[in-house]
């Protein structure tokens, strides 16, 4: 039987990027996927006359019409064809007022709130808007964005570890930011607390609150959103998956769907092949894995073959947040519903640490509502629109829900999320629902095959943030011919992060194979 140069396990975003980049460089590649379609979360599904996007809220790093962003460049490098729909906004944050809130006011929707922030694209525009909302925050906001520009220069240095630490002398700011949390850094910059809460709105995409999350990485995320806005593929995220699938085949790679890796074959202390669907053996020289380390080390390998350091890391890291999403096909247009924004974050409290605390239990009143028609007007039939509502939780919040209560429970959660959005935006949703689908953590666990259904990998904590993960990437891999990619790696969750890790792993494998190492 043929021995492949590279076997890629899992056709999620990271695995697709890894397989495409290896195949492009002339290596013989086999991509194995247990589902019958590629993409993992980057897919779509149909209910009635609506096609829904399972998980993608929006992509930062698409760039504008004049200049491609970092995500678009990933696709350009492998010549994958995707039709991008761009949007020149970031987010809106709405915090409904509670009884006794002294700073409450009535917003343009007629709702009593303590925060209503629509944040624009552009570093200068964002900073001025923040200063308008919280006087005295302009200088600290601009300073943060200036740091973010230097930060990207430092990241370029980190990709060539042979040049460290001398290469960082040109970006000294990076050394003052290392191991600082968002709260610590923004306090040092003198940013008022209310401005910090608005500035930190995207924390939920990363899964760690301001007191824990790495300031460097958050700056990376916010920079990407604010620099040139967001975007989404015209035909949902499945368009990206299919585009890369095509390029893998064009480059001569093999893809086997309905092919689950059920065992990793070891030889001389390292992987030599895999067993597919419990029976077929396939052999390879190098391996890139888009599956979770937990699954690999507990289900695909014998315990004696797992390096002790990997077991220690599994025990030390915390599983990141899980999601619940309600997909709604509406028989009214977004204008008829009164929807005016693409992405609205509705929070019971503006403080990210309090939001995180509340999310240890099921629905806490935190909800993100997105309307895809705002970016892609014709994504639904004429006279209709689609919404998706998302909330997050941490830990096994469903452990006490009995199977016989599951349907009733998820219906109640969906009702609470819908009512939260209706009240916060002063709109009516429930009477106009034509199609509804509800995905709880067990839904994502069944499809993604991840611990508790998390799409986020492991929490990026202060001791285990992006910088140490980046520097230690090579030594953190379990074998010298086996690399992980995807949400569990240095940049955590996010479509762009996954593509990046797949591309990076492929680069290391290609270099090793071409040098004969």
Q: Please state the pTM of the whole predicted model.
A: 0.93
CA–CA gap between residue 178 and residue 168 (Å, rounded): 12
**pLDDT at position 160:** 58
Residue 30 near residue 284, CB atoms below 8 Å: yes
215 pLDDT more than 60: yes
**pLDDT at position 168:** 55
Q: Please state whether the peptide bond connecting residue 165 to the residue before it is cis, i.e. omega within 30 degrees of 0.
A: yes
Best-predicted range by mean pLDDT (155-164, 363-372, 456-465): 363-372
431 pLDDT more than 70: yes
CA–CA gap between residue 149 and residue 226 (Å, rounded): 12
**pLDDT at position 9:** 98
172 pLDDT more than 80: no
Angle 247-249-255 from CA coordinates, rounded to 5°: 120
**Which phi and psi (to 5°) does residue 67 adopt?**
-140, 125
Where residue 517 falls among pLDDT bands split at 50, 70, 90?
low
Residue whose tokens read 């005295």:
136
Cα maximum dimension of the chain? 73
Where residue 326 falls among pLDDT bands split at 50, 70, 90?
very high
Where residue 362 falls among pLDDT bands split at 50, 70, 90?
confident
CA–CA gap between residue 352 and residue 301 (Å, rounded): 39
374 pLDDT more than 90: yes
One-character DSSP codes across 113-171: EEEEEEEPSSHHHHHHHHHHHSTT-HHHHHHHHHHHHHHHHHHHHHT-GGGTTGGGGG-
Element (H, E) at 510: helix 495-514
pLDDT in tens, 499-516: 999 999 999 999 999 887
Find, among 285, 277, 279, 284, the residue nearest to 256 by Cα: 277
Q: What is the CATH number of domain 90-117+322-394+399-439?
A: 3.90.660
Average pLDDT over residues 285-291: 97
**pLDDT at position 169:** 59
**pLDDT at position 171:** 58
Residue whose tokens read 């762009």:
496
Go through the chain and tell me how many residues it has: 517
Find, among 200, 196, 146, 199, the residue nearest to 174 by Cα: 146
Where residue 180 falls among pLDDT bands split at 50, 70, 90?
confident
CA–CA gap between residue 166 and residue 170 (Å, rounded): 9
Q: 94 forms bridges with which residues in the sheet?
A: 116, 346
Comparing 479 with 153, the larger pLDDT belongs to 479
**3-class SS letters over 17-54:** HHHHHHHHCCCCEEEECCCCCCECCCCCEEECCEEECC
CA–CA gap between residue 115 and residue 417 (Å, rounded): 19
The overall average pLDDT reported for the chain is 91
Lowest mean pLDDT among 24-28, 93-97, 448-452: 448-452
Angle between helices 70-77 and 238-250 (to 10 degrees): 30
* Token output for 471: 């520097």
**pLDDT at position 404:** 96
pLDDT in tens, 294-307: 999 999 999 999 99
Average pLDDT over residues 381-394: 96
Superfamily of domain 3-60+236-318+458-514: FAD/NAD(P)-binding domain (3.50.50.60)
Q: 368 forms bridges with which residues in the sheet?
A: 345, 390
Categorise residue 258: left if φ over 0, alpha if ψ from -120 to 50, beta otherwise: left
CA–CA gap between residue 62 and residue 121 (Å, rounded): 13
**Which phi and psi (to 5°) does residue 7 adopt?**
-110, 125
* Token output for 100: 């006794």
**pLDDT at position 64:** 79
Best-predicted range by mean pLDDT (169-173, 181-185, 252-256, 463-467): 252-256
pLDDT in tens, 307-317: 999 989 888 99
For the chain, the domains span 3-60+236-318+458-514, 90-117+322-394+399-439, 120-228
DSSP state of 431: G
CA–CA gap between residue 512 and residue 504 (Å, rounded): 13
CA–CA gap between residue 10 and residue 24 (Å, rounded): 18
177 pLDDT more than 70: no
Where residue 151 falls among pLDDT bands split at 50, 70, 90?
confident
Where residue 222 falls among pLDDT bands split at 50, 70, 90?
very high
pLDDT in tens, 50-93: 999 999 988 888 887 788 888 899 999 999 999 999 998 899 99
Lowest mean pLDDT among 30-34, 176-180, 359-363, 510-514: 176-180
């Amino acid at each position: 039987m043929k021995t492949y140069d590279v076997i890629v396990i899992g056709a999620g975003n990271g695995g697709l990027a890894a397989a495409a980049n290896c195949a492009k460089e002339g290596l013989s590649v086999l991509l194995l996927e247990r589902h019958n379609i590629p993409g993992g979360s980057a897919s779509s599904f149909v209910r009635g006359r609506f096609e829904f996007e399972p998980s993608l809220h929006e992509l930062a790093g698409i760039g504008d019409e004049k200049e491609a962003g970092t995500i678009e460049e990933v696709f350009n490098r492998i010549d994958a064809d995707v039709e991008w729909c761009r949007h020149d906004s970031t987010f809106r944050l709405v915090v409904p007022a509670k009884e006794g809130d002294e700073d409450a006011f009535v917003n343009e929707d007629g709702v009593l709130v303590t925060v209503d922030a629509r944040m624009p694209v552009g570093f200068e525009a964002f900073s001025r808007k923040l200063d308008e909302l919280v006087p005295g925050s302009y200088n600290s906001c601009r300073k943060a964005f200036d740091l973010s520009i230097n930060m990207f220069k430092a990241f370029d240095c980190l990709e060539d570890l042979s040049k460290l630490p001398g290469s960082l002398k040109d970006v000294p700011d990076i050394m003052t930011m290392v191991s600082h949390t968002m709260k610590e850094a923004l306090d040092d910059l003198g940013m008022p607390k209310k401005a910090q809460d608005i500035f930190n709105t995207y924390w939920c995409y990363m899964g760690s609150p301001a007191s824990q999350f790495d300031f460097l990485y958050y700056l990376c995320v916010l920079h990407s959103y604010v620099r040139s806005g967001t975007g989404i593929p015209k035909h949902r995220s499945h368009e990206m998956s299919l585009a890369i699938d095509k390029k893998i085949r064009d480059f001569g790679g093999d893809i086997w769907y309905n092919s689950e890796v059920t065992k990793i074959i070891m030889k001389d202390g390292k992987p030599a092949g895999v067993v597919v669907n419990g029976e077929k053996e396939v052999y390879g020289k190098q391996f890139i894995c888009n599956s979770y380390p937990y699954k690999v080390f507990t289900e695909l390998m014998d315990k004696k073959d797992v390096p002790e350091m990997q077991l220690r890391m599994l025990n030390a890291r915390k599983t990141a947040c899980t999601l619940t999403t309600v997909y709604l096909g509406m028989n009214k247009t977004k204008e008829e519903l009164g929807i005016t924004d693409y992405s609205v974050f509705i929070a019971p409290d503006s403080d990210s640490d309090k939001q995180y605390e509340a999310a240890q239990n099921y629905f806490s009143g935190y909800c993100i509502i997105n309307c895809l028609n705002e970016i892609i007007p014709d994504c639904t039939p004429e006279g209709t629109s689609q919404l998706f509502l998302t909330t997050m939780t941490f830990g096994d919040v469903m452990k006490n829900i009995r199977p016989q209560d599951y349907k009733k429970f998820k219906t109640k959660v969906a009702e609470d999320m819908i009512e939260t959005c209706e009240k916060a935006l002063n709109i009516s949703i429930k009477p106009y629902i034509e199609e509804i689908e509800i995905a709880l953590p067990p839904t994502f666990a069944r499809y993604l095959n991840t611990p508790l259904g998390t799409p986020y990998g492991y929490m990026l904590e202060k001791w285990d943030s992006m910088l140490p993960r980046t520097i230690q990437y090579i030594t953190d891999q379990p074998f010298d011919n086996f690399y992980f990619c995807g949400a569990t790696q240095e940049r955590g969750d996010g479509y762009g992060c996954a593509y990046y890790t797949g591309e990076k792993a492929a680069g290391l494998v290609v270099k090793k194979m071409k040098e004969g190492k």
